[in-house]
Structure 1
Amino acid sequence: MMATLIGHLGATLLDFIWQGALIACVAGIGMVALRKRRPQARYALACLALLACLAWPVADLLARLHAPALVDGTAGLALRAGTGALYALVPLHWPQAHPGAIVLAWASCTCAMALRMLAGLWWIARAARSPCGDAAWQARITSMAGRFGIRRTVRLRVVDDIASPVTAGWLRPVVLLPASLLTGMPPELLEALLAHELGHVKRADYVVNLLQNVIETLLFYHPAVWWLSRCIRIERERIADDLAAQHVGAHRLARALSELEKRQFSHHDLALAANGGELMFRITRLLRPAPQGLNWKAALPVLGLTAALIAGCAQVAPAPPASVTSAATPAVVQFASCPAPVYPDQSLRDRDTGTVALDLLVGADGTVRDSRVNRSSGHLPLDEAARLAIAKCSFKPAMENGRAVQSWVPVAYLWTLQ
């Protein structure tokens, strides 16, 4: 069962390459269409697109796990055709033939990023437990929170090792205020920065930001996830700016951001900082509001990346063994000709499962001339049964310069029990 899960998970991770590219392409078109609308519209679109990046592979994996695989001791082929939960014999690229390596690399990087995220949460929790340090500013932020319509108690904590206010927490929100700003910034400008943070608290942005980090951790390998997450953060900061400007004035907030821009600061992704999201653009936007123009230069990398990913996923020709010359058109199996192999009795009794990677030598007449096990399932009876059964399949031979040629075709066979 573990081999089955690894195979399905590896295939799901590979499928998300084209799925994420498609989501990014649709979201990019939508962001362009909404460029003159309020930031709330673009924020909602980017959030929905990022959620789709999580929901699609999850639904895909569940469909694979619940698809009928084996009944009455027969075997099914591991790779799906298209997006449905179908099992079919298809040529394999190296990643498809080695799902274990794909899953191991993904799990290792995911664990490393998860540890980084947990370290950030620990740092925030430790800072939130520190003493307030300034009762006057605590009273002021409590009064401001009341004017924002925030019923929860907003705690204020003074921290030494940051240079910009950050917000964390949902049920018990806390604003971390840099000690350097408390002593070095005029009170009216510092109040404007705190108004921006209260905008995040009012909208419960911390929850969305935390979910972003989870999705980034799970799907770190896809550029579309990072692009959508960046769009969310940019629009989120603009929305918080608009809320703060309603209470303290746009010019006052712009002056506060300008003062902040002069200082060196660090950015904590797990918290919501006033310095996030194109600081100079935000200042200009507050002082001279105008519809967002169409920036084709910024869109070109995204469109180019999307086209490259889709084109790469569209390549279905197998990578042949090093000793074989590749054909212009690879051999294709005739599915109806493949008999259903029977589970070896001993393997059924022992409930053995696994994936067999095979290389088939397909002749110019479409018959299998030779076969060999490239990667064993770990059980010799399963390897031999798969090799003998698939060798009986008929193929449409590979074509080169308009004539049929002999070629090697890599395939994989999944033995599993239902």
Structure 2
Amino acid sequence: MLNAPSARRLESAVNIADLRLAARQRAHRMVFDYLDAGADDEITLRRNKDAYSSLELHPRVLAGLKPPLDLSARFMRSECALPFFVSPTAGSKMFHADGEQGVARAAAKHGVMYSLSTMGTSAPAEVAAAIPPKHPKLFQLYVWKDRALVRDMLRQAMDNGFDALALTVDLTWYGNRERDVRNGFTVPPAYTLRQIADAVRAPAWSWDFLANEEYAYAAVKLAAEGAFYTLVAFIRDAFDPSFDWDDAEWLVNEWGDRGPVALKGVLTPEDARLAVERGFDAVWVSNHGGRQLETSPAAIDVLPNIRDALGGTGLAVELVVDGGVQRGTDVLKGLALGADAVALGKPYLYGLGAGGEAGVDRAFTILRDELERAFGLLGVGTTAELRRRIGRGEGLVRRRGVSARDFPDPGAAERGWGGGIF
């Protein structure tokens, strides 16, 4: 149950920026900054958002469209009502006690694929119990040193009906997130004087925290206990910077034919091609939300080159993009530049921090409405039609101030993603 101020802020939110402000007002400062921050000077964090702003949408008029439009999409071998989905994010219960289960229920309501992070504060079994058995769900795995622990994590996902896997490979070295250092960020929270003072300033969050069981990394805790690790030692020792392409291929084989496997954290065409060669079904173009390597490129900026390197349209391998998505128009731009689906993290977490499951529901409603409006104003009725029109070389998306004639490319139509699109 939301308190009155949180409920009013949620009801009045008309965009994701409003949800961000509502989350900042409700949440503990340490928690909000963990969600909101990037690495070092946060240049890449800002770059992610600016990259979408520099792209123009060029509409075709008199398209004769009738609402509601069909925004459904098929990706990761699943049929979804919307072409965006829940990016795996750590520690949902630190933002609100509804946690991963609340996010998953909201995702199921909207027909959105749910992704659970290895560092989630709910275990795979808890998430699976919260949503219909056949609802699409993906398990995200980090790179661990101990292969027995990797197998334990995979077993939890397999036993609970997760039908897709994503291996995150851009966190083998942990990014420098200076807001977390300044705030003394820990999971679960440490009871320092500063954190207690910040908790007093966030009474709704603090009541939520005190009234519920202390949150921790649930799936990791299960795996660590099974291997006779303490949780603290596991977190300290588990990440493996020496993990390489042979290890990644081993993981693909461990997952087997249970469903598609994505490589998350790719920013170059060369790595994308290697991912395909090593057996990955999807390439996830991402800079980890600007939280890892500072001044890395925005994922949306490198997406077209990666799509071209993999052969354009009609690929056996799928492309996912994330980072900087704040609007339905951003989702549309990601699709128009070659992604099969767009993953988003901060938008739904702002909703979660602002109002739990109801806030996530609000975030998805806002993005769905914005996306349908953007499709309609662009003159495109379905995601399939968008793909056909881009494949014909229509310049629906261009960088600001750049004309289609500045991209002479007679082979664009055959490849499907050139000819003035980006």
Q: TM-score range by the shorter chain?
A: under 0.3
TM-score scaled by length of structure 2: 0.22
TM-score scaled by length of structure 1: 0.22
| Higher Rg of the two aligned structures | 1
